[in-house]
Structure 1
Amino acid sequence: MSRPATRRIAAALPALLSLAACAAAPVQAPPQVADATPLFEARDYVGDGVFGEGIEGPATGPGGVLYAVAFGRDGTIGQVVPAADGQGAATLFVELPAGSTGNGIRFGDDGAMYVADYSGHNVLRIDPATKAVAVFAHLPAAHQPNDIARAPDGTLYASDPDWKTGQGQLWRIGRDGRVDRLETAMGTTNGIEVSPDGKRLYVNESVQRKVWAYDIGADGSIAGKRLLLEFPDHGLDGMRSDADGNLYIARYGAGVVAVVSPQGQVLREVRLKGQKPTNVAFGGADGRDVYVTLQDRGAIETFRADRPGREYGR
């Protein structure tokens, strides 16, 4: 969920701490050893205030390194690697160009980082080795590209909410950077994900609290829209799929991550320390570590799942 959006949902937080602007070089996460950590019990991974209120877009990239936007302030991306005490050590990875503000992050098969730039109306491509930032796709008719999902064939899908009117759109971004608007006049589209087999697209609407499912055609088009699930309260934000197709949905304001089956059944809710989760990502040596970004804490929590994510550590 972007910074303008969260300001409409919650009161603005105090001014962010000023952090050092020196970027750290990309690093490789050390190997992780399986342990007897209880499943679905959240703990701190990165403590309070390290990230700003715009914290979003967690994604694991090459070497299993975790990335998230708003390292201390908007317009930045931080990287987090495991420390000896089991916590995560966060450093600045890159400063985005002036006028760009990152939100959702995904990685391509070649290790390139794709970032939804909501203020610039772009999807950015970042070379993790050189940190060179380029515009991969421009969406001039977008309200604000918010979150992105990557299909197995490399196609990107983007949510595009308009918080002022309570409406939203959906976009497809091809492997060549060509953009196509798939749908308009939805609710406040936010979390977006593709099923492990690449045949289904999921999109949620934050304010309306609905999760929709579509069939994905061979050409990347979508059809067969149907309601998967509607929640009675609180908001919805980012979501990811595990290898079995279960959705892990950040329930903004509820302080939980809801685990939902492909049939729309709530299988469990994972209680968090923070109340305003903005997004989730899978990672770790076996893909079963789930990382959750928390707007109200400027922190990242983590818990162990019983299944790996459908994509992690590219």
Structure 2
Amino acid sequence: MDIIAEGLAFPEGPVVMADGSVVVVEIMAGRVTRCWNGRTEVICETGGGPNGAAIGPDGALWICNNGGMAHLGETGPGRIERIELATGHCERVYESCDGAALRGPNDLVFDSTGRLWFTDLGSGHEDVKMVGGLYTVSPDGGTVTAVNRRSISYNGIGLSPDQRSVYVADTYQARVYRYDNRAEAQQPEWIATGIGPVGFDSLAVTEAGNICVAMVMGGGGVATVTPQGVVTQLSIPEDPYVTNIAFGGADMRDAYITLSGTGRLARMRWDEPGLKLAFNG
């Protein structure tokens, strides 16, 4: 692996930009940072806990912000934020669904129509775990619609190549689920479970439709899950918290991976090309 940046405060949410840079969030520092080889530049101080990130149809960077960590003294409301990359201006766009506050928005993706999909990991303190869910917003920017309000710990999210399916990863269950791309309440279809004592974090989909899920807790790495449920796992012993993977490069075979425990962004060549996202910066 090549190390692109280090000294980051628990980086996640890599977004590979057209100019070759990679934008990441730093959860523990409450900021968004652009990375080049050996150089970093702060784009925005969001506060809270910025998590998943994606370029929207408007060219802005959209962020899931979980509100922050209790032990850091900040537990503001979970929200979806929009950042103008040129100026760093940040605005809160969504904070609730049907009058109920979002708890811990975690990751997000846009389909080609501009529909937003995002997960909520939930929240917890001491021995209490508040459930999260899967949500969507129509391309016209309307209200937030709940697809599932009773998930355990939804984290990563992505779309199949034909965009008919929405994939989500559940951290504590180490499972991948599938939903239909439609804005109504649904029960998920189980696809696969990780091998061994691992947790699933963020994910990216390949051009062939395989689901690459970053692994945490039981040993860092990346699990590749086929749509049929076959699982293989690549160990990355350099860090126990491999939290995100995103694809880029001319042939889409450059995998950018966040090594969050050691505060690094790495790049490695992947054995198949990643799927190009609907929007890029």
Q: Normalization by structure 2: what TM-score?
A: 0.84
Residue of structure 1 in register with 2:72 after alignment: none
Deviation at 1:267, TM superposition (A): 4.2
Q: 5+ residue gaps in structure 1?
A: 1-41
Asked if 1:248 is matched to 2:201, the reply is: no
Asked if 1:307 is matched to 2:267, the reply is: no
Q: How many angstroms apart in 1 are the aligned matches of 2:223 and 2:123?
A: 23
Within 5 A, what are the aligned runs for 1:97-246? Answer: 98=47, 100-119=48-67, 120-139=77-96, 140-164=100-124, 165=129, 167-175=131-139, 176-217=141-182, 220-221=183-184, 223=186, 225-231=188-194, 232-246=196-210
Counterpart of 1:93 (choices 36, 40, 43) is 43
- Residue 222 and residue 247 in structure 1: after superposition, are their counterparts in 2 closer, same or farther (change >3 A)? farther
Q: 5+ residue gaps in structure 2?
A: 68-76
1:273-307 per-position Cα deviation (integer Å, ceiling 9, x unaligned): 21111111112233221111122101112211233
Identity of aligned residues (%): 28
- Residue 216 and residue 240 in structure 1: after superposition, are their counterparts in 2 closer, same or farther (change >3 A)? same
- Residue 43 and residue 255 in structure 1: after superposition, are their counterparts in 2 closer, same or farther (change >3 A)? farther
Deviation at 1:61, TM superposition (A): 3.1
Asked if 1:57 is matched to 2:7, the reply is: no
One-letter identity of the residue aligned with 2:161: P
Q: Normalization by structure 1: what TM-score?
A: 0.76
Q: How many angstroms apart in 2 are the aligned matches of 1:194 and 1:226?
A: 14
- Residue 122 and residue 167 in structure 1: after superposition, are their counterparts in 2 closer, same or farther (change >3 A)? closer
Q: How many angstroms apart in 2 are the aligned matches of 1:74 and 1:172?
A: 28
1:85-110 per-position Cα deviation (integer Å, ceiling 9, x unaligned): xxx422212212x5x43110001234
Deviation at 1:135, TM superposition (A): 2.1
Q: How many angstroms apart in 2 are the aligned matches of 1:268 and 1:209?
A: 12
Asked whether the 8 Å contact 1:123–1:137 carries over to 2, the reply is yes
One-letter identity of the residue aligned with 2:103: H
Deviation at 1:239, TM superposition (A): 0.5
Which structure features the higher share of strand residues? 2
Q: How many angstroms apart in 2 are the aligned matches of 1:297 and 1:66?
A: 18
Counterpart of 1:294 (choices 249, 259, 278) is 259
One-letter identity of the residue aligned with 2:43: F
Higher RCO (CA < 8 A, seq sep 6+): 1
Residue of structure 1 in register with 2:73 after alignment: none
Asked if 1:74 is matched to 2:74, the reply is: no
Deviation at 1:177, TM superposition (A): 4.4
Q: How many angstroms apart in 2 are the aligned matches of 1:302 and 1:193?
A: 20
1:38-72 per-position Cα deviation (integer Å, ceiling 9, x unaligned): xxxx342223xx1113x21111234342111118x
Relative to structure 2, which stretch is displaced further, 267-276 or 179-188? 267-276
Q: How many angstroms apart in 1 are the aligned matches of 2:192 and 2:29?
A: 32
Q: How many angstroms apart in 2 are the aligned matches of 1:248 and 1:272?
A: 17
**Number of residues paired by the alignment?**
260
Q: How many angstroms apart in 2 are the aligned matches of 1:267 and 1:209?
A: 13
Alignment root-mean-square deviation, CA: 2.1
Residue of structure 1 in register with 2:230 after alignment: 265
Q: How many angstroms apart in 2 are the aligned matches of 1:198 and 1:283?
A: 19
